Chains A and B, each alone.
Chain A
Amino acid sequence: MTPFELLEPPSLAKAIELLDPDDLSTRPIAGGTALMLMMKAGVFKPTRLISLAKIGPQFRRIATGPNGDLRIGAMTSLSMMEHDAIVGRHAPVIARAMRRLSNVRVRNVATIGGNLAHADPHMDLPPVLIALGASVVIAGRSGERTIPLEKLFVGYYETALQRDELISEVRIPSQHSRSTVYLKCTTGSVDDWPALGVAASIEADRSSIRSAALVVGAATEKPIRLNAAEAILSGTQATDAVLQRAGDAAADEVDLISDARGSAAYKRELLRVYVARAVSQALATNGGRG
């Protein structure tokens, strides 16, 4: 790792001002857990890092919005989300997913804003939050804009963020009776990066599915909604045959990537099975507060 300059601006506006869209060696740094790996590997050699550590406590808190939505400041650590009572009531799937996400040392430091802005397709939270219908508030020089989270990810490690924009907040709408499950599939150690991640968010009346949101991550270049599988499930009785058809549709509708964690052919079979299992588990926890 080579020496670099570290700045700690006192406000979000100041941080944005310091970002230089033309200088690829200047980057914002939040928890730094992902950036440090890239710097250690020599993949990224910064001249200047803009630390967001001191932009203010309002970006490091969790609150409920006027519509009952959950508002999470971008600098909130993953551990804070994991242990927060409001998050636990609002979307218990988050705390469950956290337990097998990285490790406690990383979760104590990594932030939700950094996690999303990094756009590593192997992350677990993006599919979970997309399935929950989350959106992100993005701050830039000319003000704020809010976009659905699934629109944030545009490609492999690529986001819709301009180089002088920062995520300031994540919003998760009230879930009402929706039940969400995330299944992480590893093919190495249990705490390896996922070979495949599937999030399923289901609104159902017993086994009668009203609507479904299905997202696949890790095996694709970015988290992807499984529209064909969702269409099969919505408005149907969740029989084994229907779940299997949804799994087959999912396996047919996305491009999967071969890597050290598995061939695309194998991941296709995993996706088939994990879609059916995720929906089935979401239905099983439905009503019992998923």
Chain B
Amino acid sequence: MATIVVQGKQAGRSLPRLDARDKVSGRAEYVHNMRLPGMLHGKIFRSSLPHGRIRSIDVAAARALPGVYRVVTADDVRKVIPHPYYGPAFHDQPVLAIDKVRYVGEPVAVVLADDPHVADAAVQLIVADYEEMPAVFDEVEAMTSTAFVHEELKPAGTFPDLKHLKGRKNTNIALDFQLRRGDVDKAFAEATHVFEHTFRTQQVLHLPLEPFVSIADAGTSGVTIYTASQSPSFVRIEIARLLGWPENRVRVKVPYLGGGFGAKIYIKLEALVTALSLIVHRPVKISLTMEEQFYTLTKHATTLHIKSAIDQDGRITARKCDVWWNGGAYADIGPRVTQKSGFTAPGPYDIENVSIDSYALYTHLPPAGALRGFGIPQLVWAYECHTDIIARAIGQDPVEFRRKNILREGRPQATGTLMKDAAIEAVLDRIAARMNWSGTFDRGSGTVRRGRGLAIGFKASISPTTSIAIVNIFADGSCGLYCSTVDMGQGSDTAMAQIVGEVLNLAAETIRVVHPDTDVTPYDMATLGSRSTFHMGHAVRIAAEDARDKVRALARELGLPEGTNFSIPDLFKKKYGMQAGNIVGVGSFIPSYTPPDHETGQTPNATPFWMIGGAGAEVEVDTETGHVKVSRLINVADLGRPINPKLVETQLSGASLMQLGFTMFEKMQFDGGQVTNASLADYKIPGIFDVPETIENEAVDAVQHSGPFGAKGVGESGTFSVSPAIANAIDDAVGVRLTELPLNPEAVFRALRAKANRPLPDA
């Protein structure tokens, strides 16, 4: 084929991120910095009640404030969007509250002004009168509470497995997923040991340093939305649905994101700014404050009940899991979390008899969605603490007990799907080797006790999802990639450019990656669930191969021999008589998938690939104060063959540090449904001093045979196992078992005192 210069292999290069220079020099484009001519700023008036009927909203004083352009409520929204309810799984979330409010912080009205400070001042002049209604906050209470969040369930219809929920009344259960395999009752009856524990996780949130921000510019011919979104294609389709417009009248543009972590998926502010722009015929921007993020999306708090049957040889013969997910007032993607993650609740173990019941619950709290792991970290927290407790109780080494029960290649997972390209045991082995598990360990002395623990977790990729990409070769031989994957800091631009470069024999640095613009870049399901490298990676590879094949075809058409050294610019010149033309390659990818049986959850093809993430932790516990120092954190994952090993390492360490915050101290505090620590002054995320002295990251030697160049996703894997590894290490150090996150010093201290039979008083 006609080539320019052979650049060497691109896949597998530790190429520095292509966006790094623009970001550190402040040149990178963010929605936050964008202004359009004539643009108004919106500020949101929010509910102060967790559940109440709206009697009246008095906006007169706000409207009268000088500088206020307009005050908007749901009545105005309904004039431009007659049925203004949105959501990926359920059409349950109103653009602005209609008739009722369902959580403290729910948007009720918007003030528009040229000056955002004026809008802010006016918001404080709005008075809403509510008839207070009973509320439910706890996910287990929500199962039986008569404080119903919604009058009726409204599944979106996009997911066939949610159809049976349509029209259900008098329930807070948004989804009940079940899986049945083997004969659990018989196995428990025959068991040598039975273990049963309940674990809990707390509400936390994503806190990207760029809060939610969207601009809409609506005209008669269409609407253009500039938004910090992880899912531009979904936004286009959902806005088109809400407006009853064809997709081609909705344009969604996404520049860089200042972090997403699952917060910016589906619709957040986009429907609101679109409605506002349609109402006032001017561009409208809403930039949330850091504080408002606490009222937008959280990570599911969970209660997890797990019970295992063990035979005399220490094999797990049955496991029964009940999981209650606190979804908050609107479903967002919660029902998907409940099912798609729910089926891995028994853990990466080879268990003949399994029963899972997983419930998505509505409560009167801010909505919960996906957060870097799609529910997996909650499940791993439960099953890896449980597994460690069992091993210690039956006198087996935790590593040996896991090895004995581990889910090996070719064996069926709980869904019946046979494991393939899942290096679970290799991950366990590498953690144990790095920790010198069989060797001696300094256990500390006096008031500082040391311990170590490990954990392994796995995740199925969300399926089936589609990605489409376009590769454009210009007449001078340079190349552009058009794809709707959002680079939110994970480095997807760099990885995708490497894939193009690998196929076309170009240096990845020379590839122009065009950012999502739904008028220009083709469909992609979303940037979530560690799916981009695999799905979009394939689409990009296929698009590049298509372009390459078309270059070869052009050479043939021009009568050149196979393997000609004619350069691409020369081909174009020969064809068009001057520097002109393009070659456009297109790639589309959707993996195969078989939906699970509704009654049993069984399917021969649950996922296109498995992600494996394990962690090892060494801790020092101050027995006088309960402080835990994680002195060493080891992250090991199977992510196939890395496209960019350096990016993989930063994904693993970054994910593990995020989870370290969720493990050790992060917690949204609620009082009557009101978040009481809704700011970065009171809700702290890990800082540089919280980073363990030693942090090690390793990708095990593995290949995802169905992945592009052997790769698969990695964005979430580093989160899976951090929490239980640390809890297991604390148990190892001081013999106390914490079953609820976070593992803060007071929780450890109270457990120590309880163990010493000197319980600390509550207050």
Contact = CB atoms under 8 A, between A and B. Distances in A.
Interface in B689-718: 689-690
Interface stretch (A9-17, A150-158, A167-175, A265-273): A265-273
A264 B763 contact: yes
Given A40-B289, A264-B763, A270-B625, A2 B684 contact: no
A144 to B, nearest CB: 34
B121 interface: yes
Contacts, number: 73
A41 B625 contact: no
B744 interface: yes
Contacts of B677: 260
Nearest to A262: B746
Contact of A100 (B118, B291, B689): B689
Given A41-B679, A265-B760, A270-B625, A187 B687 contact: no
Given A3-B118, A264-B763, A273-B625, A42 B669 contact: no
A191 B689 contact: yes
Given A3-B117, A40-B289, A260-B682, 19 more contacts: A1-B117, A2-B121, A3-B118, A37-B681, A42-B124, A187-B744, A187-B746, A189-B661, A189-B685, A189-B687, A189-B690, A192-B684, A262-B745, A263-B746, A265-B760, A265-B763, A266-B749, A269-B624, A269-B749
Contacts of A42: 124
18 contacts: A1-B120, A2-B117, A40-B291, A41-B291, A187-B745, A188-B684, A189-B685, A189-B690, A190-B687, A191-B690, A192-B684, A260-B676, A262-B745, A262-B746, A265-B761, A265-B763, A266-B749, A273-B625
Contact of A190 (B289, B291, B689): B689
A269 B623 CA distance: 11
In the A-B complex, the 8 residue pairs with the smallest Cβ-Cβ separation, listed nearest first, are A190-B689, A189-B684, A2-B121, A188-B665, A191-B687, A266-B746, A192-B684, A188-B684
A187 to B, nearest CB: 5
B762 interface: yes
B704 to A, nearest CB: 36
Given A188-B684, A189-B661, A269 B762 contact: no
Given A3-B117, A266-B746, A189 B625 contact: no
Nearest to B116: A1
A100 B665 CA distance: 18
B750 interface: yes
Given A1-B117, A190-B687, A260-B677, A185 B625 contact: yes
B690 A190 contact: yes
Interface in A16-65: 37, 40-42
B686 interface: yes
Contacts of B679: 37, 41
A37 B679 CA distance: 10
Interface string B124-143: 10000000000000000000
Contacts of B684: 188-189, 191-192
Contact of A266 (B115, B682, B690, B750): B750
> Could you say which of A3, A41, A188, A193 has the most chain B C-beta atoms within 10 Å of its C-beta?
A188
A258 interface: yes
A271 B690 CA distance: 23
A185 B762 CA distance: 20
A contact patch SS: loop
Contacts of A263: 746, 760, 762-763
A273 to B, nearest CB: 5
Contact of A258 (B289, B682, B763): B763
A262 B689 CA distance: 21
A53 to B, nearest CB: 21
A258 to B, nearest CB: 6
A258 B669 CA distance: 14
Interface in A88-109: 100
Interface of B: 115, 117-118, 120-121, 124, 289, 291, 624-625, 661, 665-666, 669, 676-677, 679, 681-682, 684-687, 689-690, 744-746, 749-750, 760-763
Contacts of B625: 185, 269-270, 273
Nearest to B749: A266
Contacts of B750: 266
A187 B665 contact: yes
Nearest to A189: B684
A42 B120 CA distance: 10
A262 to B, nearest CB: 5
Interface of A: 1-3, 37, 40-42, 100, 185, 187-193, 258, 260, 262-266, 269-270, 273
A141 to B, nearest CB: 33
A193 B289 CA distance: 21
A269 B121 contact: no
A260 B681 CA distance: 12
A212 B378 CA distance: 49
Nearest to A277: B624
Contacts of A188: 665-666, 684, 744
A262 B749 CA distance: 11
A189 B686 contact: yes
B294 to A, nearest CB: 12
A41 B761 CA distance: 34
> Could you say which of A191, A263, A265, A273 has the most chain B C-beta atoms within 10 Å of its C-beta?
A265
B749 A3 contact: no
A132 to B, nearest CB: 25
B692 to A, nearest CB: 12
Contact of B120 (A2, A185, A260, A262): A2
B206 to A, nearest CB: 17
Contacts of B744: 187-188
A250 to B, nearest CB: 15
A127 B173 CA distance: 52
Contacts of A262: 745-746
A266 B744 CA distance: 12
A2 B679 CA distance: 19
Contacts of B682: 193, 260
A39 B685 CA distance: 23
Nearest to B753: A269
A4 to B, nearest CB: 10
Contact of B762 (A37, A41, A265): A265
Nearest to A122: B681
A188 B665 CA distance: 5
A2 B115 CA distance: 10
Contacts of A40: 289, 291
Contacts of A264: 763
Nearest to B289: A40
B760 A266 contact: yes
A13 B36 CA distance: 46
> Could you say which of A3, A40, A100, A266 has the most chain B C-beta atoms within 10 Å of its C-beta?
A266
Contacts of B689: 100, 189-191
Nearest to A2: B121
Nearest to B626: A266
Contacts of B115: 3
B669 A260 contact: yes
A99 to B, nearest CB: 10
A264 B687 CA distance: 26
Nearest to A34: B681
B757 to A, nearest CB: 16
Nearest to A264: B763
A269 B753 CA distance: 11
B117 A273 contact: no
B661 to A, nearest CB: 7
A191 to B, nearest CB: 4
Given A37-B681, A260-B677, A189 B291 contact: no
A37 B678 CA distance: 12
A164 B679 CA distance: 32
Contacts of A187: 665, 744-746
A10 to B, nearest CB: 28
> Could you say which of B291, B661, B745 has the most chain A C-beta atoms within 10 Å of its C-beta?
B745
Nearest to A272: B624
